[in-house]
Each structure stands twice: as C-alpha cells, then as structure tokens.
Amino acid sequence: MNEKAFKRRKLHSILFFLLIIGVAFISAYMTDFNLVEGMATIPTALIWMAENLIITTDTLAKLPKILEKLNETIFMSIAATTIAAAISLFLGIAGSTTTAVNGFFSTLARLIASFARNIPVVAWALILLLSFGQNSITGFLALFVGTVGFLTRAFIESIDEAGSSAYEALTATGATYFQVVGKAIIPQCLPQMISWILFMIETNIRSATLVGILTGTGIGYAFDLYYKMLDYQAVALITLLIVAAVIIIELASNHIRRVIL
C-alpha cells in the first residue's frame, strides 16, 4: 500500500470517529438525556438498593413458593425450546440450500424463520395475550415462536456450513434423500445444533421471566406480585435466584458442549 492510500485511510477513520461522537450528541439532545444528571442519580440509587434489597429470614420463608415458580419457568423454557428445536430441524433442512427439496419450501422456511425471529419475544407475548389470555400457554407460545425463528436460522447456517460435499458424494452412490440427510448431514451438524439449543434454553429462561410478568405465570408472576406489594426483599431474592439458575444452566451447558464438540 502506498503512502497516499494509507493517509486517506487514516483520514477516513478520524472522520468516522467524529461522526460517531456527533451522532451520540444529537441523539442525547433529542432524547433529553443528560449524562451529568444521570451520573448524579447513581449514588442515591445505590443507597436505596443497599437499604431496601437486604434479604432477611422473613423473606427466606417465602423461598419454597418462589422456587416452585422458578421450577415452572425453567421447565417451560426447556419444553418450549426442545419442541421448537424439533420443528426447527425440519424447517432448517427445508431452508438450507444444500438440502432444500425445492425452492418454494426453502423460501417459505426462511420466511417463517425471519418473521418469527424479527419480532421480539415480548411483542409475541403481547400479541398472543390478546388471543390466548393470561395463562401459561401464552408464555409457552411466545417463547416457542421466537425460538423456532432463531433456531431455524441457526440450523440453516450449520447445514450450509457443513457443505454440500458429502451430500453430493452420497447422492452419487445412489443414496436416497432421507438417507443422506439422516446419516450424513445431521450427524455432521448435530454438535453445533445441540450447542444452539443449549444457548436458546439459557436465553429463554431469561426471557421467560419477562414474559411471565406479562402473562402472569412462573417466576415472572412472583416477581410482579412482590414488586406490586412493595416487598422489595422478596424481589431481591427472586432476582438472585434467577441469576443463580441462569448461571447453573450456563455452566451445565458449557460442560455438555465440551463433551460433545
């Protein structure tokens, strides 16, 4: 690269940097966001948290009930993810260019995936609330739809990445479509798919809390209830339990990943 091009490149990055700063200022101005004022509230907020979010023995008495709700949420997340994974497997196979049966199904699968994925889970929950009402089915469906969208997309990419080489080779031997998919494509992609499924279980436990607040189920319901009762100690306990649950699940899935990959 010559001197001139190098200088131009440097100029470009400086301009880009200035542009970012400019955009930050404009958006802060437009939203009335004041960094200094925002910073000033931090100490007060911390003091409030220290005073109100202390867990006492009183709170611990509520533990069994809270744990029951947490269980409900965890199992709902796992159920929604695994059922969604089964559907996504079919959509992923139909959607990948390597294994596409025909163009129509391939486009359809991709369309379903991007439609389901690009609407946030919370929005799905709100939409489904209208038709299914406040119950666990709504929460389940909201997680399910979002997961199908994400996993289909991930599976399509895994299959594409695994490549068409073995597909081509087995087709040439006279193998049928399902033999090739079942014995070459899926075995090759399985570890990656499982890894995505585990990731989705983690994500869904987090989302399930939020969805639960909206649909009045699981740990989200408990959170909402104690929050409205101004029982902030219980709220703190719930938050801690959610964090603990997510960390445990994450550790477990990391372990599984290490074994299968």
Partner 1 sequence: MSLLQVKDLNKSYQTDTKVLKNINFSAGTGEFLSVIGPSGAGKSTLLRCINRLVQADKGEILFGGQDLLKLRKKELRAARTNIGMIFQHYNLVPRLTVIENVLHGRFGYKSTLQGVLGRFSEEEKERAFYLLEKLGIEAHAYKRCDQLSGGQQQRVGICRALIQNPKLILCDEPIASLDPHSSKVIMDHLKSISEEMGITCIVNLHQVEVAQSYSDRIIGLNNGSIVFDGSNFQLDQLYIKRVYGMETRELITV
d(CA 125, CA 75): 18
Q: How far is the CB of 184 from partner 1 (least distance, A)?
A: 5
Judged by the rule CB under 8 A, the positions of this chain that interact with partner 1 are 165-166, 168-176, 178-180, 182-184, 187-188, 191
Exposure string of 123-143, with b = 16+ CB inside 10 Å and e = fewer, is: ebbeebbeebeeebebbbbbb
Read out DSSP for 108-157?
HHHHHHHHHHHS-HHHHHHHHHHHH-SSHHHHHHHHHHHHHHHHHHHHHH
Nearer CB in complex with partner 1: 120/182: 182
Nearer CB in complex with partner 1: 133/187: 187
d(CA 73, CA 124): 17
Nearer CB in complex with partner 1: 145/193: 193
Q: How far is the CB of 158 from partner 1 (least distance, A)?
A: 12
Q: How far is the CB of 189 from partner 1 (least distance, A)?
A: 9
Please answer whether residues 139 and 217 qualify as being in contact, where contact means their C-beta atoms are separated by less than 8 angstroms. yes
Q: How far is the CB of 167 from partner 1 (least distance, A)?
A: 9
CB neighbours of residue 173 within 10 Å: 8
Nearer CB in complex with partner 1: 12/183: 183
Angle, to 10 degrees, between the axis of helix 218-228 and the axis of helix 63-95? 140
Nearer CB in complex with partner 1: 64/174: 174
Q: How far is the CB of 180 from partner 1 (least distance, A)?
A: 8
Please answer whether residues 129 and 138 qualify as being in contact, where contact means their C-beta atoms are separated by less than 8 angstroms. yes
Nearer CB in complex with partner 1: 96/138: 96
Please answer whether residues 200 and 249 qualify as being in contact, where contact means their C-beta atoms are separated by less than 8 angstroms. no
Q: How far is the CB of 260 from partner 1 (least distance, A)?
A: 10
Q: Of 38, 54, 97, nearest to 239 (Cα)? A: 54
Q: How far is the CB of 175 from partner 1 (least distance, A)?
A: 4
Nearer CB in complex with partner 1: 59/158: 158
Read off the amino acid at residue 25: F
